[in-house]
Structure 1
């Protein structure tokens, strides 16, 4: 934008300067020509005045030498006695000179035999000065124009940078612009459009998440029922269909989570876990599982949407129900400490043989898609936290998510949350 404005100012200034320079040169040349004509006329009048007094050759010759035209050899005097003083190329009868009566009967003629040189050193110097002044003036005009356009250019730069930031990096950014009224109005329009887009996307994510959670509930029940119907081609086909549907739901939930948090979403971990555990506790009772839920009374805010965190809880609990036998004990706890909100899911199952490999997207050694832990990992890392797979206090797997608490200043090197349970490293 700055280059475009500079080019526009340069072209405008150069065009104006050339036109003004051409006009000035014409006027200077015309003025020089008029000065030469006046000078020649003054020389003739001077010699005429001398001739009215005397026609003495020496006196007239001295008078001619005192004029510029005489010095340049362009002035001649034709006396009544036939003598010619000065340089002449014409005869008295053919000249268009100044006739001077020297007596009652006699007349002398004063003639400039050639026009004065208009283009001389002085004229060249004047034109050179005009060119110099024009170039300097054009440059100053560009600088002054850029200076005057500086607020508008800054406003356009801020508008462009912020719009790019909204489009590519952080859609929660809003434009704070001061400058020309038109640009301020444009910035307000962009902000309003971004707000509307944010609301529409949030509503869309909420709808998709709601549908996904509604699908997960009957799918979990259907999978549990499918596992209990025994073997055979039909049972296997039902189980494969249920698994495929579960994979699709996991991908939808993960997609919703990856796009959440962009518009300032936040939720209370304890509230979300309490809501989702109503469903999972009921299923635990149906399977004869002991399900212990330990939640704090204090707020536990994190920078995640309710839908995103619900997907995490459902993914972790689904893993427990999927990979542990019925009646296996499970425990869920939330702890707030030192700027971190820790969500822990323990089970008394066989544990995770390779915790590092289990965190790879799509990795699973027990016949599942491996997307559940990937959903949890993506969610916790989006807040600046970490995920850990350990041997829990119930003897099986412990999935520990350390979410960074919303609006809390802390370092990533803060004490590990697992110390709160007195857990020994495995």
Structure 2
């Protein structure tokens, strides 16, 4: 593209110089030709006035010597009287004798002749001439200067064209590189500003596209990782129910099937929650979450899992205000905290929902030995199974809902979720 811009610019400059320079060159040549003719005519006229009286009295004085102009005086019969010219009258002299002032351009020479009269009587002819080589030299020198100026103009045009080509092609090349990197999967790439509105518009569109694709892939990756983490507990509960049904062949299978269907429903709801959160459609700040239903679900889902470990679950929330947050987000945050207590805690797990003065506080604790002070429990640690991301996910969900999640007490470990209610 750079070469094409430079070539087109130079072609336009050559065309402009040609359209202006060629007529100018022709005009210069014509001007010098007319100027030389006028000089010959002026010299002839002034000489004729000077020598008219001398010729009438037959006392012609020596003619002035001009190295650039050939000056000669002829008698009425055409014979050369004085000066530098043909020995006998040539065409221009004969025309001057017969018709009056005349000019001629024989090969290699410009000539002009004017008759000399005294009281109306023809007494001679003055002939002036100059070689064409002088005219050619003057014209050629001027043309060389014009060519030099044209070459200088073309050189300046080339420099300007290079700069403009770099300014136009450079940003486009950067856009091409950014598009190539985007195609290779680098969604952090951004096209730099070029200072050209049209190119900057394309770059902004590319940057927006890269950002949207990157956000979409980040959400998809987050969904994959979060789903692998959040689905482990419902699947474990379903497995326990099925194993319990197998261990009790005499029990009513309808009850086991009903429990399995209920667990499958909760599993489906978990998937829906994760999809809504990944797409950014789970939050509705104008609607309060149903706190009583959330606490009831906690008891239904987690009591059986803790009972399998010979542990208890206590859930209380009398008088607690409902949070103004996404129900899906709150459900997943509590699921993370309870899963953490199930996997790493000991003894009874307690969930307490309480009024925190214009906000809802939910404390989740167990009877474990505690968490070291220097332990960064909210640091995201990923693995192929999705483990190590739960608390980091829970904190990010809480912050997205305008709330907070922190370790309020290291021993026994207590996590507190604070959500707005107004």
Shift of 1:398: 0.9
Contact 1:61 1:85 in 2 (8 A): yes
Alignment of 1:289-304 (within 5 A): 289-293=313-317, 296-297=320-321, 299-301=323-325
Among candidates 206, 226, 237, match of residue 220 of structure 1: 237
Contact 1:347 1:397 in 2 (8 A): yes
Shift of 1:264: 7.1
Unaligned stretches of 5+ in structure 2?
A: 92-104, 168-192, 248-266
> 1:316 corresponds to which residue?
337
Instruction: Verify: 1:372 aligned to 2:390, yes or no.
Output: yes
> 1:160 corresponds to which residue?
203
Shift of 1:313: 1.9
SS at match of 1:271: coil
TM-score (normalised: structure 2): 0.53
> 1:30 corresponds to which residue?
26
> 1:73 corresponds to which residue?
68
> 1:110 corresponds to which residue?
128
Q: Cα RMSD over matched residues?
A: 5.9
CA–CA separation in structure 2 for the residues paired with 1:216 and 1:90: 130
CA–CA separation in structure 1 for the residues paired with 2:87 and 2:26: 27
Superimposed CA distance per residue, residues 89-131 of structure 1 (whole angstroms, 9 cap, x where no aligned partner)? 9986598344555577966543223342434887777777788
CA–CA separation in structure 1 for the residues paired with 2:70 and 2:39: 8
> 2:96 corresponds to which residue?
none
SS at match of 1:400: strand
Shift of 1:34: 0.8
CA–CA separation in structure 1 for the residues paired with 2:6 and 2:33: 40
Contact 2:80 2:89 in 1 (8 A): no
SS at match of 1:118: helix
Once the two structures are overlaid, the 10-residue window that deviates more, 288-297 or 311-320, is: 288-297
> 2:181 corresponds to which residue?
none
SS at match of 1:73: coil
> 1:177 corresponds to which residue?
none
CA–CA separation in structure 2 for the residues paired with 1:336 and 1:60: 130
CA–CA separation in structure 2 for the residues paired with 1:290 and 1:297: 19
Superimposed CA distance per residue, residues 6-62 of structure 1 (whole angstroms, 9 cap, x where no aligned partner)? x98876555433332244333332222111211222234345546766555878946
> 2:262 corresponds to which residue?
none
Contact 1:48 1:100 in 2 (8 A): yes
- Alpha carbons of 1:98 and 1:321: their partners in 2 closer, same or farther (altered >3 Å)? closer
Superimposed CA distance per residue, residues 309-346 of structure 1 (whole angstroms, 9 cap, x where no aligned partner)? 433221222333455567x25224265668xx665333
CA–CA separation in structure 2 for the residues paired with 1:158 and 1:264: 30
Contact 2:113 2:125 in 1 (8 A): yes
Shift of 1:73: 0.9
Unaligned stretches of 5+ in structure 1?
A: 173-196, 231-248, 409-426
CA–CA separation in structure 2 for the residues paired with 1:273 and 1:350: 27
Instruction: Verify: 1:17 aligned to 2:13, yes or no.
Output: yes
- Alpha carbons of 1:402 and 1:228: their partners in 2 closer, same or farther (altered >3 Å)? farther
Instruction: Verify: 1:330 aligned to 2:350, yes or no.
Output: yes
When the two structures are aligned, how many residues end up with a matched partner?
331
Superimposed CA distance per residue, residues 266-323 of structure 1 (whole angstroms, 9 cap, x where no aligned partner)? 246961755443322124666464321357436523xxx6545433221222333455
Shift of 1:82: 2.3
CA–CA separation in structure 1 for the residues paired with 2:198 and 2:114: 78
SS at match of 1:290: strand
CA–CA separation in structure 2 for the residues paired with 1:313 and 1:89: 125
> 2:80 corresponds to which residue?
82
> 1:185 corresponds to which residue?
none
CA–CA separation in structure 1 for the residues paired with 2:357 and 2:61: 120
- Alpha carbons of 1:385 and 1:45: their partners in 2 closer, same or farther (altered >3 Å)? same
Alignment of 1:13-412 (within 5 A): 14-49=10-45, 54=51, 56=54, 61=63, 73-80=68-75, 81-85=79-83, 93=90, 96=106, 97-98=111-112, 100=114, 109-115=127-133, 116=135, 117-119=137-139, 153-154=196-197, 156-161=199-204, 163-168=206-211, 216-223=233-240, 260=277, 263=280, 266-267=283-284, 271=289, 274-283=292-301, 287=307, 289-293=313-317, 296-297=320-321, 299-301=323-325, 307-323=328-344, 328-333=348-353, 343-354=361-372, 356=375, 358-361=377-380, 369-380=387-398, 387-391=405-409, 396-402=412-418
CA–CA separation in structure 2 for the residues paired with 1:361 and 1:153: 42
CA–CA separation in structure 1 for the residues paired with 2:341 and 2:288: 19
CA–CA separation in structure 1 for the residues paired with 2:89 and 2:42: 19
